[in-house]
Structure 1
């Protein structure tokens, strides 16, 4: 089944995203509107210390009105075509204050492809050492801490980690580890 775009109209745009409405025709002839959010690709990083602890960040997420733990993740809106590895390395240091000497790209996935065209590039970072934390103004109040895998599982079960990117990243990582 294919969907053909008949027209496209920009509805809204800011620094982080744009929203467009596309008039479309489905293969069966039905015509309708498809709303699409355009956002630059982002990186999610699973930073693992030498002792096996996982470094997470916690911040307030305005749309859902709460603070939650998650893997470091982000996009560079001013450089949407940046190399995913450079993005991951930059986001890791920016949000956690750590640098990594060993990197593994696990893969990539779409976050919410029913309405969003953004790709997540997933990395594991090891060989962590202190770098320079340099958070954006919008990340004020962000915290970072390291947890054992068992603590992370307990946090998932208790609802302290409800982020779909973090859940997908950790699940993918454990699946690939065997």
Structure 2
């Protein structure tokens, strides 16, 4: 296999505790040079908490959009490099919704935006749920959780009211695998 693009140099432009931005000088196979910007972020998890014919969703204000959005619970643990994706999923589920899953089923793994990042996400179906109080991080101020019928969630997707690509992909993949009705 030949390399279509060769990296000539790399420069980190910006870094904070959640992400880094680097700029690579590149050489394409046709001899032309260019710049490629890459966002580096850790993988994250998205969880489909299912109870009967409903799932739990979260609603929160998303600053870049300037509005509240409906999504599946999701997140990452920037502070832990040793936690497994399943442990992160269980922790994020408890943190955002107060739910504890008696059973976690791996649904799959997807890439978020492979045109500018290697970041991906692990998808889990959470069942046998018990209810506790949520424990939100400061960045999650105002986040609320609620239960919604799976058919209603599908309709929200079709109506363009759930626009988070991660939530849509996770839901449709679990549905395609027959894990939710």
TM bucket by the smaller chain? over 0.9
TM-score scaled by length of structure 1: 0.95
1:16-67, Cα deviation, whole Å (9 max, x unpaired): 1010001111222221111000001100000001x12110000000001111
- Which 5+ residue runs of structure 1 have no aligned equivalent? none
Match of 1:68 in 2: 69
The runs of at least 4 consecutive aligned structure 1 residues that moved more than 2 Å come to: 157-160
Which whole-Å CA distance do the structure 1 matches of 2:83 and 2:29 have between them? 36
- The equivalent residue for 1:2 is 4
**Correspondence for 2:178:** 177
* SS state at 1:78 partner: coil
Alignment of 1:1-178 (within 5 A): 2-49=4-51, 51-177=52-178
Cα root mean square deviation, aligned: 1.3
Residue correspondences, number: 177
Structure 1 residue 175, shift from structure 2 partner: 1.0
Once residues 106 and 2 of structure 1 are traced to their aligned partners in structure 2, the CA distance between those partners, rounded to angstroms, is 32
C-alpha distance after superposition, 1:63-111 (max 9, x if no partner): 0111111000001111245210110000000000000011111110110
Partner SS for 2:69:
strand
8 Å contact kept, 1:41–1:80: no
TM-score (norm 2): 0.93
Cα distance in structure 2, aligned partners of 1:81 and 1:164: 27
